[in-house]
Amino acid sequence: MAYQNMKFVREAFLIRSGNGVIASGKGEYAKVDFPFEEHWEVLKTFPPEELCFVHVHPPSFPEFSRMDQTCYKALKRALGGDFAFGLVCFQEEGFVMRFIGSHSAVLPAEDLELLKALSQEEKP
């Protein structure tokens, strides 16, 4: 499916460890909540540095919001260490991915496709 026929409709999230995707889902146009509490028992079984939290931002908004920064700091404290916390913007010429803090990650292509599918819909 060509990107040109798709449009951004909502933010989306994905949480992964080195073993695979722990959770993924849809948010709203400019907001998405990571379901930390729902997956806490699983999350805390991993060393923080093996965890990766990525969310989709609307195109042309590749900056971390104040809420993102607060969320990152609180989660770092709760997990007891640093992890990869990133955002991705899908744009016509490709995508922009950024990470906050000292860890970054390379997402497998299928994770990017999943995030794109969760955040976009085909143009009518």
Strand partners, 120: 8
Structure tokens at 27: 């948010």
Q: Which residue is nearest to Zn ion (CB)?
A: 68
- In whole angstroms, what is the distance from residue 42 CA to residue 35 CA? 12
- Return residues touching Zn ion (CB under 5 A): 65, 68
CB of 8 to Zn ion, least distance (A): 13
CB of 53 to Zn ion, least distance (A): 10
Q: Among residues 1 and 30, whose Cβ is nearest to Zn ion?
A: 30
Q: Is the Cα dihedral 40, 83, 8, 123 positive or negative?
A: negative
Residue type, 45: T
Q: Among residues 16 and 55, whose Cβ is nearest to Zn ion?
A: 55
Helix H, strand E, coil C: the string for 86-105 is EEEEEECCEEEEEEECCCCC
CB of 11 to Zn ion, least distance (A): 7
Q: Which DSSP category does 81 fall into?
A: S
Residue carrying structure tokens 């080195």 = 18
CB of 28 to Zn ion, least distance (A): 12
Q: Among residues 51 and 56, whose Cβ is nearest to Zn ion?
A: 56
Q: Among residues 5 and 65, whose Cβ is nearest to Zn ion?
A: 65
